[in-house]
Structure 1
Amino acid sequence: AARDKKSECFTSFLPAVSKKSIKAIKEKVKACHALETTTVNLVEIANELNPKIRGWFNSYGKFYPSELKLRLRYINHRLMLWARRKATKEPLLFEHWKQGVIP
């Protein structure tokens, strides 16, 4: 048991996402074939990733959502990298890309 600011005892247990699970999440995102090519669109990427993300929220989101959200930033990072590659393939895809604001 731990002690709080008032020196009262309390249980200091917080459920967490294990290191093994974190690694598995990253591996499943890396295995997403849609993120490896710029010939697909965002809908195809979403169709591949959404069932996995939904499952992670169902498994880990109830007990420690803040930890899960930290891990989901990795997906955002991978999407950003995909968008950068897409920008070089299709430099005029979005209006702000045409104006020179490229991710």
Structure 2
Amino acid sequence: MNFLPAVSEAAIKAMGKVMRSWRIAQRSDKSLMDLARMFNSVVQGWINYYGRFYKSMLYPLLRRINRMLVGWACQKYKRLRRREKRAGELLAGTARRYPNLFAHWRFGLKPDGWAMGAV
């Protein structure tokens, strides 16, 4: 018999509900630094608690934050409207310049800029 101490489906759903309540894409008045300040403590707590033993179960949830940031960039910058790939490339460049900006980027889930919004 095996036991894998991973995050439960109920916990993933609860975390997803919290992330949706943030409405990141509608916060186009905020900068990327402001978003990082607002949400890093919560995301870092999830990583510390649930990512202790079975980190890979958190990856889909944390990749969703990157997709939400792509939506934010598309809303904030007029030149990126309906251009998810370019918004992903913008975030990838930001992640290369500031790799410690978001907690999940420090965890290793940086945006790669390749069709992030199309998933």
Q: Same fold (TM over 0.5)?
A: yes
Computing the radius of gyration from Cα coordinates, the structure with the larger value is 1
Normalising to structure 1: TM-score of the pair? 0.70
Q: 1:31 aligns with which of 14, 21, 41?
A: 21
After superposing on structure 2, the runs of 4+ consecutive aligned residues of structure 1 that deviate more than 6 Å are none
| Structure 2: distance between partners of 1:63 and 1:21 | 15
Change (3 A) 1:52 1:35: farther
Matched to 2:86, the amino acid is: I
Q: 2:50 aligns with which of 60, 65, 68?
A: 60
Aligned residue runs from structure 1 range 92-103, under 5 A: 102-103=86-87
Structural RMSD (CA): 2.2
Normalising to structure 2: TM-score of the pair? 0.62
Change (3 A) 1:34 1:49: same
Runs (5+) with no aligned partner, structure 1 = 1-10, 93-100
| Structure 1: distance between partners of 2:63 and 2:86 | 20
Percentage identity across paired residues of the two chains: 36
Q: 1:35, 1:79 within 8 Å by CA — same for their partners in 2?
A: yes
Bigger relative contact order, structure 1 or 2 (CA pairs below 8 A, ≥6 apart): 2
More helix by share: 2
Q: 1:60, 1:68 within 8 Å by CA — same for their partners in 2?
A: yes
| Structure 1: distance between partners of 2:24 and 2:71 | 12
Q: 1:41 aligns with which of 31, 43, 50?
A: 31
| Structure 2: distance between partners of 1:12 and 1:102 | 44
- Say whether residues 1:78 and 2:68 are aligned partners: yes
Runs (5+) with no aligned partner, structure 2 = 88-119
